[in-house]
Structure 1
C-alpha cells in the first residue's frame, strides 16, 4: 500500500515517513508559520512620517513585539508581529480606537492568512525534471516540423537562427548591465573605455551566449605583433593580426 504525504508532496511505502527528520522539520516550519500569522496584525492608514519606532512605541502597549516592518514601496501599511497570539487578539479588540500622538487614526485588522507552502510543495524535483523534459521534447518536435517545411538549406538555417537568437528582453538586460558597468569604470577611470565584442557586438548572440567585454584604460597604441600569450606547455603563441578569430582590429588607434 502506498501513502501520499501532502506536506512533503511525495508518495511513500508506509506511514513511518511521518517520523522522518524532513517531515518533522516541515511540520515545525508550518507550525511556526501559522503562529506567526495568528500573532500578526495588519495596519493601514499610516503616513510617511510614521516609522517603525513610532509604531512599536504605540502597539507595544498590547504586548511584546517580535517584528515590525513597513511597506517600503508605498509606505501605506505595516505589519506588527507579537510574541504571542494573545497580544494580537488584545490589540484587535480595540481595532476602532487606535490613535497616535499626532492625531492619526490607524485601521487595524487581522493579518491575511496564507497557506503554508514549502519549496517542495510548490513543485517536486522530479516533477520539475519531467516538465522540463516534456518542454524539451515538444520544442524539438516543433523545430523538426519547421525544418521539414523549408525547401532549402538557407531557409532551414534562417529558421534555426530565428529560434535560437537572443530574446529582446535578455538583450535589453545585458545592454543595461553594460551601461552600468561602463559608468562604474568611468567614475574611477575617466579615460576608460568599454567595448562589446564577439556575438553580442555582431548580432549573433543566443540566450546562452556570454558577454565579451574589452576594457581600455587609455589611448595607448598597441601593436598586434607585440602581443603574445602562453599555452599550457609554456610555449609562446604569437597572435596573428590578420586572423579572423580576432574580435578587434589591433591596428586601429583606440
Structure 2
C-alpha cells in the first residue's frame, strides 16, 4: 500500500489532495542505492517547504550527474568540483558527506588521511567523486579496483582480498554507526573495521544546469532548507 509520503516523493497525487495536485512536479535524479530511510524524510521536508512534488529518478550516480548537467533534472547529493561549477548551479549544502576507509580488521591499517592510502589497492565506485584530493590521487598514489555495483559488491571485493581498503560515503561523524551498518549489510560481523576518522569531509547539494528550467527551483529549495534546518540536523544525527 502506498503511503502519503511515497506519493508525495514520487510525484503522484494523493486522492482528494487538490492542493497537492496543483504543485509543480520536479524531476530529481538520485543514486539508485541511496538510503531512503534518511533521504525520503529529507526530501519530504524540502518538498513541503519549497511547495513542489518530486518525481524521483533513481539512477547510477554517473547518470545522476549527467542528467543534471544536461538540464534534464535536478541532481541530488552532488559535491562541488571546479569542473561541475562551470556547468551547474548548486543549492546551499544539504548536509556534510564523509568519505570513510573500510578495511579488514586483520590487516591492522590505521588510515587517517588520503596520504595513508599510498601504495594500497583501493575499491571505489567508477562514477563517484570522493573529493578533489582523493580523485587526484587515484591511480597515482594508490591502485584502484573499480566496481559499478551496489555498496555490498565492494564489500565482497574487500573481503575476497581484491583490495586492501574500500571507500564509502556516509553523513555520520561516528565511525561506529557506519561500521554497524556495514556489518548488518554484509554479514561480516567483526571482520570489518572503519578507520578512526573520515578521509574527506565534503558538503553535498542539489544541483541544476545553469540556465535550465530546474535551476529556478534552487532558491525555493534554499528557503526550505533554512526553514527546516533543525529538523534536518536531527535527521542527519539519527541512526537512520
Higher relative contact order (CA 8 A, sep 6+): 2
Query: Which TM class, normalised by the smaller chain length?
Result: under 0.3
Between structure 1 and structure 2, the one with the greater Rg is 1
Structure 1-normalised TM-score?
Answer: 0.23
Structure 2-normalised TM-score?
Answer: 0.24
Which has the larger share of strand? 2
